[in-house]
Each structure stands twice: as structure tokens, then as C-alpha cells.
Amino acid sequence: MKYIFVTGGVVSSLGKGLTSAALGALLEQRGLKVRLQKFDPYLNVDPGTMSPFQHGEVYVLNDGAETDLDLGHYERFTNGTLSKLNNLTSGKVYETVLSRERKGDYLGATVQVIPHVTDVIKERIRAGGGEDVDILITELGGTIGDIEGLPFLEAMRQFALEVARDDVLFLHCTLLPFLKAAGELKTKPSQQSVAKLREIGIQCDILVCRTEEPMTDEMRQKLSLFCNVPVNAVIEEMDVETSIYELPITLKAENIDSLVIEHLHLDVPDKNMKVWHDVVRRLKSPKHEVKIGVVGKYIELQDAYKSVYESIIHAGIANDAKVNIVRIDAEDVQLNPQKNLAKLDGILIPGGFGDRGTAGKIITSKYARENAIPYFGLCLGMQIAVIDFARNVAGLEDSNSTEFDANTPHPVIDIMEDQKNLTTKGANMRLGSYPCELTEDSLSFDAYGIKNIAERHRHRYEFNNNYREQLTNAGLRIGGINPERDLVEIIEIPKHPWFVGVQFHPEFQSKPNAAHPLFSNFVAAAIKYKK
């Protein structure tokens, strides 16, 4: 297996994750089997309990691992299905080391960062690829110089010594800031960043430079000289015009994949980029235009619903449509539903935890239902739709979820009995991929085209089966069931043009060239509604 390590310097949020994902896409186009993984230096064991305001969304994998949102980029750009082995935090590393120490695995030795911590990190590097993988791309979160990232960098340095040098490539992402007063890009921060990396014992092989302005040949020569990188390995990465899905094309123009292939001594033919050109063409020349409102509680932060936004864009690509996403705070809807919702062609309520904003979301569901606006509820959005239907159609006054009101007279959403005694944070959550059997007369079956599916979950409250008969008699349709535990996975309203709520998170299985079928049908319904 070949290994690529991706690091970043100067500032955070440079787009290392997108760069890694786009490089993975380019290498896949050449016929290589690629896997990606993320090392996060923070001390949380995983992002599962971190606030979306702090960290953005928690991306859930098939095996139930709660991971960094960059793994979403990895799965959207490439075809590999990731696992818990593909995300590692400092917290998990130290948890592993201390567990081994308590069991006596170190035979009384003094436990230290080197070799014990670095050995655990190297173990994960070796385990992150899997069978038949040609290249493993490992991204290190944070910035060169961060104290918490040093054990990971040391492990990477050691790893490069332990394998053949032409089996390892170091790629460093950096920033070329544009000083408006001087009217030029500055290379000094990048030089300093690379110098810091070299102090640790790592020499980068490719330097990817984020920039708002084009680089000059003189600038490439200067970076090459002071960073000890060949001129052709100084890569310009300008902000893309339309979408992040242009990035594989722009990096291809810089020949980054050829550099990787040459350095790693691989013999694979070049391939065309038709798939990515088709995606970009549809983004730039759409036939339709619709306005989708996303009503949530973490609207201020773009990354809180990252996979949801990307899945809506994918659905736009599939329908040759430009989708204008309107981010709406649920509390604003509560104050003025008409002002916030009237001009939308479709409404989506994403997942979430806690009761803030739920009143506004219930009003949103009611508004979409009564005004025949296409509605898509994800996880909490499905539960909100059930509460609205129970209260306002089935006549079950003060219906609620026990998450929001433990004393509600009609707990239409509740923790199932076999989960109630699991009090550890996260232990009573349904996490990862679960099967779902679709009802053949449902909108969902029309979308998927198959009866048995599997989708990823992250929640602890469920549709209360004690109310299933009452709600279906009132006109609610159960579109899908988990056959193992007879849990409701999908609800629909048959007398509505398109009203679907799902207990799972379909946004975790959507790609730009393969939109999730429910998202695709939702946007198609929004186009039809607008007409």
C-alpha cells in the first residue's frame, strides 16, 4: 500500500479535507482503490458529544462511528465506504494507551509519548486502508505548530522511515495571503510553515497553495527555492467559482495526480474526467431553479448541516436545477410563519437534539402540510411531522415527544422500553446502518425502486407504536419499517403532493454524481410545485 499524509499550515479551515477528497477522486479516476482517514488532535474521544456550533455536523458511518465532517467529503468524492478505523482523535489514542497500561500490556515500562502514543497512531495508519486498497490518504487536522498535533506528526515521521521512501508522500496545504495595500500575494507565511514542518523532520513533497489571486511563475520559483519543493510540485489552488465539485478538475489542471503517481512509482494510465465535467456542467447550466428552505436551530453555522446542504445540491444536479437554499431559524418561523415560508418551493427540517426551536418547527410542518408545499423531514424533522399530525389532524391534543415534555398526555415520540435503562450518554442511541422494508404503495418505494434498503441513523427517540393505529386511521401512511424491531422508519401523507419524514439520515449516502433518491424526488416535487 502507498501512503499520502496531508498537513496544513498558516491558518485552519484551508480546505485540507476537500483537497484530500478531490485528490482521492482523481486517483480513483485512474483506476486506483483509495481510502481516506482523518486524525483529529483534540482530546474528545469522538465528536459525538460536541456542539454543532463548535465542530459542525457529526458524520455517521455504516458501523455507527460518530466522526468528523471531513469524512463526509471523503465519501462524497470517492467510492470507498469508511469505518471507525478511518477517524482517530487524541482522546481515543490516550484512551487506548491508558487501557493497555492498566491491563499490564507494557510490562511495567514507563509509558511515554514516544514510543507508546506514536505506536498507537502508527497502528491506525496501517489499519486504515483495508483489503486491496492501493493508496491511503491520511489528513491531520489543525495547523503545523499546534502542540496537540505533535504526536501525530512524529508518528508520521517515524512511519515514513519504516516503509520504503517511495511508498510515502507528504502533501502540505498552505495559504498565500493577498495584501490589498501592497497589491500582492505573500509567500513568507508558507515558507515559515514549511520550515516548521522541516524542524519536526518532515519534508513535504507537494505544496498546495490556497490563494484568491493567480500565482506568478516568479512566486512558484520562490516557493520552490525556500520550501525545497520542485517547481512543478508547487500547486495553485484558487477558490472555485461555482462549487466545490470543480476542485478535482482544477487540481487535475495542475497535474497533481501525475505528481503523486510519479512519486509513488505507480504505473496507471490517465483517464478522462467525464463524470466530474458532467457534474460541473449541470451546476453551471441548470434548466430549472427552485428555492428550498432549511428550517433548523444551528442555522448560523454553515457546517452544522453540511451533508444536508450538499445532498440538496446533489439533488439539484440530478434534476438539472439550481437550488437556492434558504437557511431559516426555527424561532423566526414561530414569530412569523408567512413571512419566512410563503415564498419557498420546498421545506426541509433536518435532525437535531433538544427542545429549542421545536415550536417553530411544528408550525413549519403544519404550514407545509396545509399549503401542499413539498416537505422532507430528517430524523427530528420526521418526529416533528408526527407531532404536528397527531395534534392537528388526529385530534390528540398536546401530543409531543418525551424528549421535549416528559409528562405529555400523548407521547407519540418516545424512547422504546428496551432502551430506557441505558443511561450512559450515547448508549441508548440507534447508531449506524439499519435495514428498512418499504411499503410498495409509498412515495419512498417509488423513489428507491426497491423494497429493502439500509440507511444510517443517529437518534434515541422513536415513533411510538402505541399510536400507530390511531395515526394511520387519521390518514398517516407508514412508508417503511425496520423489520428487526418493527420500528417506524418512514411516514408519509398520501393526500399531499410530497410529504415524507424519515427516521434516518439519508444525507450521509448522497454523492454529486449519485444523488440520494429521496432528496432527488423531493427537489423534483419542488420543481413541479413551482410550476
Q: Which string of DSSP letters, residue by residue, matches 24-60?
A: HHHHHHTT--EEEEEEE-SSSSSGGGS-HHHH-PPEE
Are 19 and 98 within one domain?
Answer: yes
Look at residue 234 and give its three-state secondary structure. Answer: strand
Q: Pairing between strand 234-238 and 206-211?
A: parallel
Residues 16 and 138: their CA atoms lie apart, in Å, by 10
pTM: 0.93
Asked if 463 and 504 touch (Cβ cutoff 8 Å), the reply is no
Are 329 and 304 within one domain?
Answer: yes
Are 428 and 342 within one domain?
Answer: yes
Domain that holds residue 119: 2-278
Are 508 and 387 within one domain?
Answer: yes
Nearest to 271 by CA among 75, 26, 512: 26
Q: Which of 240, 262, 278 is the last residue of a domain?
A: 278
pLDDT of residue 130: 81
CATH number at residue 505: 3.40.50.880
Are 296 and 392 within one domain?
Answer: yes
Q: Choosing from 172, 457, 459, 505, which is the catalytic residue?
A: 505
* Residues in a beta bridge with 38: 87, 139
Are 308 and 331 within one domain?
Answer: yes
Please count the CA atoms within 13 angstroms of the CA of 178 that sit on its side-chain side.
Answer: 12
Are 216 and 318 within one domain?
Answer: no
Does residue 55 carry a catalytic annotation? Answer: no
Strands (E), 106-249: 135-140, 168-175, 178-179, 184-185, 206-211, 234-238
Cβ neighbours of residue 280 closer than 8 Å, sequence gap 6 or more: 242, 243, 245, 246, 249
Cβ neighbours of residue 117 closer than 8 Å, sequence gap 6 or more: 93, 94, 97, 151, 155
CATH number at residue 87: 3.40.50.300
Q: Choosing from 379, 436, 455, 457, which is the catalytic residue?
A: 379
Residue ranges for the chain with pLDDT beneath 70: 53, 417-427
Asked if 69 and 57 touch (Cβ cutoff 8 Å), the reply is yes
Asked if 140 and 153 touch (Cβ cutoff 8 Å), the reply is yes
82: left (phi over 0), alpha (psi -120 to 50) or beta: beta
pLDDT tens-place string over residues 312-330: 999 999 999 999 999 999 9
Are 465 and 485 within one domain?
Answer: yes
Are 30 and 150 within one domain?
Answer: yes
Does residue 507 carry a catalytic annotation? Answer: yes
Angle of the 517-530 helix axis to the 306-318 helix axis, nearest 10: 70
Q: How many domains does the chain have?
A: 2
Q: Choosing from 28, 66, 237, 507, which is the catalytic residue?
A: 507
Q: Which of 239, 258, 278 is the last residue of a domain?
A: 278
Are 312 and 272 within one domain?
Answer: no
Nearest to 303 by CA among 40, 13, 85, 2: 13
Cβ neighbours of residue 345 closer than 8 Å, sequence gap 6 or more: 290, 291, 292, 373, 374, 526, 527, 529, 530
Are 439 and 304 within one domain?
Answer: yes
Q: Which of 278, 312, 328 is the last residue of a domain?
A: 278
pLDDT of residue 426: 47
Does residue 154 carry a catalytic annotation? Answer: no
Are 62 and 122 within one domain?
Answer: yes
